[in-house]
A and B are shown apart, each in its own frame.
Chain A
């Protein structure tokens, strides 16, 4: 037997009714015990590759698979489901689709039971896997009552119970909050390093990939376009100018300085290397003018032009479970602000947002939107002042064409056809979908679907746009396109409120940040002000962007900003010091 866990030999694949090969002549191997990260834009074929490795393709999903896939010595075309299921396990992004039972114990037992395994052995396995994912003591809990990170750890446990030697994780951290990401990745790391498990992981979390992965492969339209160690990949300037994938912020810094003729001695992929590099590059002698200007207030937030949303002593209790989701929350949002609301899942962010639009009515307290009390105003009326885009675009697409989708709102307002047409046109332009107007919305790409939903909210001509996790499940490209739209709307004078788990986006786009923790507001300050208090923010399990963390580690006298919000800000400061 070879020491290869997975071998792909000239593998191509296309779905049953399409011509295009979504996987195009892939030829690579994964060593036993290796940690392989798969990166690429949405639609590059990452999920399809995962399904090929676990043998679902071609065994269950059909389509046409060319070439050979050998998993632990088994050709997946000839192997049975149960043979494959004991060699390789998979964890998907959405907990809801991979947890089917009503208790943690039953969930873990599901696979081994299907294999007709003796009960005693199953019980031993349950004990072992729950210990590995740190869910011992949760046996009788209902999966639906777990947090996002716990659900994904349970999904890992359920896969592990089959005793596979390979674990495939397909965007397994894309829908969990920052705390959940840490939980899930620490389990994966332990599996790889302590138990020698082979890991294949598709993800955008490049900072983590840099720490964990032995090797990265990059896919583009089904083809393998780059392969190498994290350092080789993240220093590949040409690759990153061609593809929209995310490099760790320290690598972005290294790359930019390299382009400006000041390369780091070793190309940085980790915080520590970034730290060493800067200290070596920048003279640490204090320079009077620079160290004085540290912590200069950029601009005392935005002009306070009057209040568009006012929340006073808001409390919300979910019935009948009596869950106090929001406790004594008060804040005002002024015209022209760009506000991020952050915090773990279950910290009350979405509940607050739903109370702004009257989708939920405050248990106690007052919410006034554009001068109207939400208790006595219809949602349809409020939506003309505050456009609220819900999390999952797929639940918000009702029409047969993009145009009709956008016209849906104005038509409900019984506007005349000319106005509707004009609103549709404006909205299409704002999000840049003029060329897709006749397409069937659900058939568009994930990023485009999100844009259609934003355009649909814009068609009601609201002065405030509220986006609930607009970037969840989006790739790097989608994230930035969506946030660029938000920035454009802000520049046009609209007020923006958004919820996200991506701290780099918060730092780059928001001017004010509200941090929520256990239903209460923990901090409400400028973006710089919030990230300048890392200890406080950590209470909400929020980790500042890597570039901010890096600068906070540096000695004070180095004269770089303490809380930079973007990589280019640091590049500029370093260049000024050289």
Chain B
């Protein structure tokens, strides 16, 4: 039983009920904003909005903690690098290397600016990381595919994108089993090994993963063909999607929000 991060999490919330197109547009807008905005307060605001939506959609908060935990080493690394190397003028800790030494003198000084920049990066990264599950966990994949089709994507392409989403939890649980199998063969790197030995052990993961995926792909092809996947130029959908007033309001609100933040960002 794996904790799946992108699998549909059933619910009846306002966010669940939004049209997939609304959510796709929302995703595009938010990603743009996250990429474009370099300001600490604005990024904090974006992250806050994401977290609020996460709670509105009643998605398990444990998952956000999970992301935080998984990203912690990355954050720690960014934090150290940024804090040490970011040029700043407000020192918090005195330089580790005295400044009279040429070239490297003054390095290792931790500046307030460096710390703030690291925090900014974390906010942006976290916002980015919750964005995809916020959409994929509130939308059944076939509805997401239908949304893409209605937006003009060919069905085969839309299906492929959503099938990739579907594969994530399967691969996740498969990796879990393979790691278990390696532990059982006295491989201890996953329990207490250094980061480097963990990195080195990944190729061993790849062989069974790839072979498993190939076997699965073959049976999947049989199952899909026998159900006439892609046999006709057009297909029907038993479920329909409609843009309701709430969708338009949400889209307009997110567009105004996006533009607003972008204008603010250029002024600061």
Contacts and interface: CB of A to CB of B under 8 A. Distances in A.
Contacts of A98: 219-220, 223
B183 A90 contact: no
Interface in B193-210: 204-205, 207-208
Given A102-B141, A106-B140, A106-B142, A378 B191 contact: yes
A142 B10 contact: yes
B97 interface: no
A110 B166 CA distance: 15
A397 interface: yes
B185 interface: yes
Nearest to A140: B10
A224 interface: no
Interface stretch (A130-138, A249-257, A407-415): A407-415
Contacts, number: 189
Which of B10, B60, B225, B234 has most chain A Cβ within 10 Å?
Answer: B225
Contacts of B186: 380, 383-384, 409-410, 412-413, 460
Contacts of B212: 394-395
A80 interface: yes
Interface in A49-67: 51, 54, 56, 59-61
Contacts of A119: 236-238
Nearest to A80: B231
A87 to B, nearest CB: 10
A556 interface: no
B160 to A, nearest CB: 12
Interface residues of A, number: 77
A102 B185 contact: no
Among B3, B224, B235, the most chain A Cβ lie within 10 Å of the Cβ of B224
A89 B177 contact: no
Interface string B178-190: 1011111111100
B183 A116 contact: no
Contact of A159 (B142, B166, B185, B226): B226
Interface string B57-96: 0001010000000000000000000000000000000000
12 contacts: A60-B221, A90-B226, A96-B170, A102-B142, A103-B140, A114-B231, A116-B235, A118-B236, A162-B226, A384-B186, A410-B186, A442-B208
Given A106-B140, A398-B205, 13 more contacts: A51-B222, A56-B226, A90-B223, A94-B216, A110-B229, A112-B236, A113-B238, A321-B1, A390-B177, A395-B177, A395-B178, A410-B186, A460-B185
Interface of A: 51, 54, 56, 59-61, 80-82, 84-86, 88-90, 92, 94, 96-98, 100-103, 105-106, 109-119, 122-123, 126, 140, 142, 144, 158-159, 162, 318-321, 323, 354, 357, 359, 378-380, 383-384, 387-388, 390, 392, 394-398, 408-410, 412-413, 442, 456-457, 460
